[in-house]
Amino acid sequence: MRQLVILGGGTAGTMAANKLRRKLDRAEWAITVVDRDDTHHYQPGYLFLPFGTYTRDQVVRSRHRFIGDGIDLVLAEIDRVDAAAHTVHLAGGRELAYDQLIIATGCEPRPDKTPGMAEAMAADETTARGGAGVHGSGARVHQFYTLEGALALHEALERFTGGRLVIHINELPIKCPVAPLEFAFLADEYFTKRGLRESVELVYVTPLDGAFTKATCSKALGYLLEERGVAMETDFATERIDVEDSPAGFNAVVSYDEREVPFDLLVTVPINLGQEWVARSGLGDDMNYVPTDKHTLRSVDHDDIWVLGDAGDIPTSKAGSVAHFAVEILEHNFLAAIAGEPLTASFDGHSNCFIESGYGKALLIDFNYDTEPLAGTFPLPKVGPMQLLKETRANHAGKLAFRHIYWNVLLPGHRMPIPANMSMAGKDLSSAVTPKAPPVPGGGHGTHVPTF
């Protein structure tokens, strides 16, 4: 019996397992998925938890429920992978031999990598759970990229009645790069409806030179921030977080060029890194991302290792839509590889993201390695019904409907009526904005900021 081991039972790993189980002969191939626990999180839903739109029960379900028949689910921490011996070592000493390995363990926020951030954030989340170890300054630093953080932020927003709220991106790349922008728009709506907007100053702090990496999209989103009265602090390379009980004696985000952005409430996006077991295995780069062929999705260094979702270093969004499109390409190439055939499917970096803009509206962007988000209609030319780079209620409805699609169509591995690679149908080429800097291979516009 040949062994396919999939590390990670999140979005990408679950879809890959279910799709490949249908294609691989059960008498010839066993499939094993490894994850640390039985809790599957709908991570796009974290954005809505702080504002009370979703509850915990709407974004968390049992992982077992979505792993299909004929697939073993092993709940264990991964210690390391010995690529030379084709073996996965689990915590506790268990070993899993593999003929083919798919890495889909994603990335995670690491507040411990920014001086001052982890201490303040840990105290805050302890406060929200009613635990011990509370100190005052911590209650002012939050994130929404974990379930615990998003729930704690919900309570912090309810307590907040006025002052300076700073939305802060520490460093790129991050998961769901539009989420901080969405948070800013939703915060504007949230405080307006509470009658507090004139008492709340919103500031958006980013390491980029604009609202987003893609020039056309950055122009549209920058306009929306200005329209909503959200101030921007750009080109901000964060050095540390100061809080009231630090030597600085006040709350501020501090950059390497000695700029200080004071805050009363900080909503930050910590540095995102790949998993530590990737580093222990010698499979990753300096951020623990696995070097991956951006077209075939196979490891650059090992022909029997494949990489999906946020775990790899391909230059596109770390987002669920990318994982969804990439799984279809990987499925094709994986089956070709084990049959001894050439890898003919090529992933183009397709990303498709709804951007919630508040007040019951959202934008939609659709792009890939080489094409900027453009205006137009999606998925059908002229008909839509979605509008690209334009606020509409239909886009908002699509954003909310995606949760149902995620649980009932994507995770089970059913096919969506949208091609894996991006189509130019419906796109308006005249809406493109010339980037400020020449693009780098893969579609970015700078030499040190990863593209997405």
Number of CB atoms found within 10 A of residue 276's CB: 15
Query: What distance lies between CA 356 and its chain's CA centroid?
Result: 15
Model confidence over 202-247: pLDDT tens digits? 999 999 999 987 787 888 899 999 999 999 999 999 999 998 776 7
Give the helix/strand (H/E) hosting 333: helix 320-338
CA distances (Å), origin 351, targets 75, 81, 199, 316, 317: 30, 30, 37, 7, 7
> Higher confidence at residue 254 or residue 447?
254
pLDDT at 137: 37
Helix/strand/coil percentages in the chain, nearest 5: 30, 25, 45
Please state, for a pLDDT cut of 90, what percent of the chain lies above it.
Answer: 80
In the predicted model, is pLDDT for residue 351 greater than 80?
yes
Greatest Cα-to-Cα distance within the chain, rounded to the nearest angstrom = 66
Residue 139 confidence class, pLDDT cut points 50, 70, 90: low
3-state SS, one letter per residue, for 170-239:
CCCCCECCCHHHHHHHHHHHHHHHCCCHHHEEEEEECCCCCCCCCHHHHHHHHHHHHHCCEEEECCCCEE
**Which residues in 214-224 are b (16+ Cβ under 10 Å) and which e?**
bbbbbebbbeb
pLDDT at 361: 96
Distance, CA of 290 to CA of 120 (rounded, Å): 31
Distance, CA of 360 to CA of 339 (rounded, Å): 49
Model confidence over 78-117: pLDDT tens digits? 999 999 999 999 999 999 999 999 999 999 999 999 999 9
pLDDT at 433: 65
Give the tokens for residue 13: 């790993």
Model confidence over 255-308: pLDDT tens digits? 999 999 999 999 999 999 999 999 999 999 999 999 999 999 999 999 999 999
Model confidence over 405-448: pLDDT tens digits? 999 999 999 988 888 999 999 998 887 765 554 443 333 333 33
Number of CB atoms found within 10 A of residue 201's CB: 16
Angle at 143 between CA 142 and CA 147, to 5 degrees: 115
CA distances (Å), origin 147, targets 80, 122, 179, 243: 26, 13, 15, 24
Give the tokens for residue 140: 């002012």
In the predicted model, is pLDDT for residue 134 greater than 60?
no
Is residue 352 within 8 Å of 444, Cβ to Cβ?
Answer: no
Confidence (pTM): 0.90
Mean confidence (pLDDT) of the chain: 90
| Edge-to-edge order in the sheet of strand 200-205 | 141-142, 265-269, 163-169, 200-205, 230-233
Which of 104, 215, 173 minimizes the C-alpha distance to 438? 215
